[in-house]
């Protein structure tokens, strides 16, 4: 029998038989009948008694008008009792079947969060109830995000915000629990979500109201960095009696080989806290005085041509070429190193910190050395960039504010060199990048430079 007063259950049964029970009462009675055999037996008894009383009442009204043999009256009453008992039993079966049918209806998956990816991010998402990767930005219990490149922001219904930087692997274990088998993830946990838990192969971190980052690396100890607030950290393993380590603001720890923790220096820069802005590409333009690129020394530019400039004239040539950014590139002659370096300057749209990039083309087939030297600002060193220390944008696309070709269709790809960070508070609002044709090594075949432009992307405020 379900909880509550027995008289209340009987009253609702009688009200149903009299046709006076409201919809809410019918739902409650349905639940009671399904949950208790005693309730079903009582309902059948009351239904039978109710039917007999109705029959007797009708019989009394007929006595004064028609004389009915007692045998017939008793037979009618017996038939009525059987009929009403069958009706009551059928009602119980019908109510139970209805409840079972409702429970068998497939329930829509509960959405526990959503994510959004930065342009250029390479990722896939799969749900626990689906065999293959799917589209859409919803996450539910068991959903897994595989991020091979770029940045993704996850927002859970609990209010937790997570920023994951690839390569990384994130699994939503529950509404307040995620797993990070590998990767870098930053978390912002509001007060109502205190107790939010992050699990890595080597540790479990329980939030106590904070902003913190987690690093999970297969070949090193997993780390926790507390930017603000506090986190309880416990090493993974079968020993349930291990004591948790509580980290406060500014603390960081790393799992040691023996399974314990070692304090390390806090490194907020290891984590991305917001989706990055798109990169603004600045095409190199030598159309003086309106152009942004000049010679950083005496001399002049060579004539604009669509052919490969092979003359040793000590000048940079403007070569028009289909498929390259802006329709042209600045090229040095094959094997020539006497050209003066270039200087490209541009203004930043507003104050802040910016990542600065340099762009050059290189033969993707590995034939020759199409390298470049970049220097960010006058007080820094000139660095040579090759295929090995630059990003091939044809293979790893970046997010640009406008269309930027990355493959010219004939075997050349655009490469991106990370030149450093420019801070307007110390470096000013005008960025200057120096470009040169480097000497990579003696006897290098087909050594040249194809310079196309620079770029900038605003970084989050510190």
Cis amide leading into 167 (omega within 30): yes
Backbone torsions φ then ψ of 180, nearest 5 degrees: -125, 85
pLDDT in tens, 159-193: 999 999 989 999 999 989 999 999 999 999 999 99
Between CA 344 and CA 291 the distance in angstroms is 9
Backbone torsions φ then ψ of 63, nearest 5 degrees: -60, -45
Range list for CATH 2.60.120.260 in the chain: 280-458
CATH of 280-458, one of 3.40.50.300, 1.10.238.10, 3.40.50.880, 2.60.120.260: 2.60.120.260
Over 70: is that where the pLDDT of 368 sits?
Answer: no
Residue 45 neighbours by CB distance under 10 Å: 13
Nearest partner of 177 among 193, 162, 197, 194, judged by Cα? 197
Mean pLDDT along residues 56-69: 51
Share of the chain above pLDDT 70, in %: 79
Q: State in Å, rounded, how far the first CA of the chain is from the last one.
A: 63
Cis amide leading into 253 (omega within 30): no
| pLDDT grade for 1, boundaries at 50, 70 and 90 | very low
Strand partners, 168: 147
Over 80: is that where the pLDDT of 285 sits?
Answer: yes
Two tokens, residue 44: 């059948």
What pLDDT score does 137 carry? Answer: 82
Q: Which residues contact 164 (CB under 8 A, 6 or more apart)?
A: 145, 147, 151, 152, 153, 154, 170, 183, 184, 185
The alpha carbon dihedral of 216, 222, 227, 229 has a sign of: positive
Residue 18 neighbours by CB distance under 10 Å: 9
74 vs 386: which has the higher pLDDT? 386
| pLDDT grade for 46, boundaries at 50, 70 and 90 | confident
Range list for CATH 2.60.120.1440 in the chain: 113-270
The alpha carbon dihedral of 80, 86, 87, 92 has a sign of: positive
Please tell me whether residue 436 adopts helix, strand or coil conformation: strand
Mean pLDDT along residues 255-266: 89
What pLDDT score does 355 carry? Answer: 93
Q: What is the DSSP letter of 318?
A: E
Say if residues 187 and 212 touch (Cβ distance below 8 Å).
yes
Residue 448 neighbours by CB distance under 10 Å: 22
Span 113-270: which CATH code?
2.60.120.1440
């Amino acid at each position: 029998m379900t909880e509550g007063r027995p008289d209340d259950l009987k009253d609702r049964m009688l009200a149903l038989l009299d046709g006076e029970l409201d919809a809410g009462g019918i739902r409650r009675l349905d639940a009671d009948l399904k949950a208790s055999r005693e309730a079903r037996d009582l309902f059948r008894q009351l239904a039978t008694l109710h039917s007999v009383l109705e029959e007797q009442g009708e019989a009394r009204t007929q006595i004064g008008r028609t004389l009915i043999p007692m045998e017939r009256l008793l037979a009618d009453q017996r038939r009525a009792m059987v009929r009403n008992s069958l009706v009551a039993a059928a009602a119980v079966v019908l109510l139970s079947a209805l409840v079972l049918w409702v429970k068998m209806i497939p329930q829509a998956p509960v959405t526990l969060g959503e994510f959004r990816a930065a342009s250029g991010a390479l990722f896939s998402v799969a749900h626990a109830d689906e065999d293959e990767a799917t589209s859409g930005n919803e996450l539910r219990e068991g959903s897994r995000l595989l991020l091979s490149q770029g940045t993704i922001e996850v927002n859970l219904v609990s209010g937790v915000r997570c920023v994951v930087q690839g390569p990384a692997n994130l699994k939503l274990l529950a509404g307040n629990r995620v797993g990070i088998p590998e990767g870098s993830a930053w978390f912002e946990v509001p007060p109502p979500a205190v107790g939010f838990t992050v699990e890595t192969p080597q540790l479990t971190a329980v939030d106590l109201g904070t902003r913190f980052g987690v690093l999970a690396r297969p070949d090193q100890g997993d780390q926790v960095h507390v930017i603000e607030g506090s986190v309880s950290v416990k090493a993974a393993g079968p020993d349930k009696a291990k004591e948790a380590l509580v980290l406060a603001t500014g603390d960081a720890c790393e799992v040691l080989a023996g399974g314990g923790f070692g304090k390390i220096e806090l490194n907020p820069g290891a984590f991305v806290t917001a989706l990055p802005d798109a990169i603004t590409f600045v095409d190199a333009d030598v159309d003086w005085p309106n152009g942004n690129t000049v010679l950083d020394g005496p001399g002049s530019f060579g004539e604009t041509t669509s052919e490969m400039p092979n003359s040793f004239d000590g000048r940079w040539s403007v070569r028009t070429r289909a498929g390259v950014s802006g329709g042209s590139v600045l090229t040095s002659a094959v094997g020539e190193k006497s050209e003066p370096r270039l200087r490209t300057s541009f203004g930043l749209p507003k104050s802040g910190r910016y990542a600065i990039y340099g762009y050059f083309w290189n033969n993707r087939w590995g034939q020759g050395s199409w390298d470049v030297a970049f220097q960010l600002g006058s007080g820094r060193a000139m660095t040579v960039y090759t295929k090995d220390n630059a990003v091939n944008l044809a293979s790893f696309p970046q997010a640009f504010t406008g269309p930027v070709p990355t493959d010219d269709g004939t075997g050349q790809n655009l490469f991106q060199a990370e030149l450093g960070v420019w801070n307007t508070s110390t470096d000013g609002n005008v960025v200057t990048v120096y470009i040169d044709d480097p000497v990579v090594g003696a006897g290098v075949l087909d050594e040249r430079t194809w310079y196309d432009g620079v770029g900038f992307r605003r970084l989050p405020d510190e």
